[in-house]
Structure 1
């Protein structure tokens, strides 16, 4: 059964800057702590990564999975769905970017994960919450550091 987590965070940058960072998946190993390697397998007609293979740290070991990216909501939303994975049977999610009247962007990260290995629900929820929180914190740090650089 898939578990879903949703969290929001305000980033001190415009939505376009936030979108640009998350859409640049080839640079993830430089700023996403758990992502160890990225390989773009195919690109869409605009040259953006469409199918991407990842190697990441998860549950104290290495995991591999492939995602298909959906840019149909760009630049307000970037979504993905898992094609295959060794530890996960589903890892679908999205980033949504909403400009705030006072400046900055509210970033919503949604992630739905189903593991191939049975684990108690509270452990899955805790891990998923950690993943979502870390993803938002790392995104905020990356985007805001690029603005001030």
Structure 2
């Protein structure tokens, strides 16, 4: 997966508060659109998850898959699929955080391969919708 969709948003909070919301997987169903459950399967060194099982229900796409995470303090987190679902065969992405004028600029990058997303233009539009919605949901969660 070389093509990725990327977008950024500025959140009126420090990096540690933003990253704490990103790392709080059990809370995702309360604020992340389409996520019905997020279960930490294994914790890494420290207090952040290494592998997380997601139950997704977004329109015609319903699936369960596991993502593996790599953390860089409060600066970045990257993930790749470690257990594909029935529909989602591949997923990789990242959040990168940077200090900006008393807030945090969050850049979200995503690449997804799914059985319903075979056509390139449809795939990019879906990724863009996921990224934009994810950033808005994260901003609302942290600032709310």
Fold conserved (TM > 0.5)? yes
1:99 is displaced (CA, Å) by: 0.2
Q: In structure 2, the residue corresponding to 1:37 is in which secondary structure?
A: strand
1:62 aligns with 62
2:127 aligns with 128
Distance 1:48 1:118, change over 3 A: closer
2:141 aligns with 142
Superposed CA RMSD in Å reads 1.5
Distance 1:46 1:55, change over 3 A: same
Structure 1 window deviating more from structure 2 (8-17 vs 50-59): it is 50-59
Segments of 5+ residues of structure 2 without an aligned counterpart are none
TM-score in terms of structure 2 length? 0.92
- Count of residue pairs the alignment pairs up: 143
1:110 aligns with 109
Distance 1:122 1:88, change over 3 A: same
Q: In structure 2, the residue corresponding to 1:47 is in which secondary structure?
A: coil
Q: Is the 8 A contact 1:2 1:115 kept in 2?
A: no
What CA deviation, in whole Å up to 9, does each residue of 1:48-77 have, x standing for no partner? 211111001235231111001111x11100
Runs of 4+ deviating beyond 6 Å: none
2:49 aligns with 49
Superposed, 1:80-95 pairs within 5 Å as 80-85=79-84, 86-95=86-95
Mapped partners of 1:144, 1:3: distance in 2: 31
1:34 aligns with 34
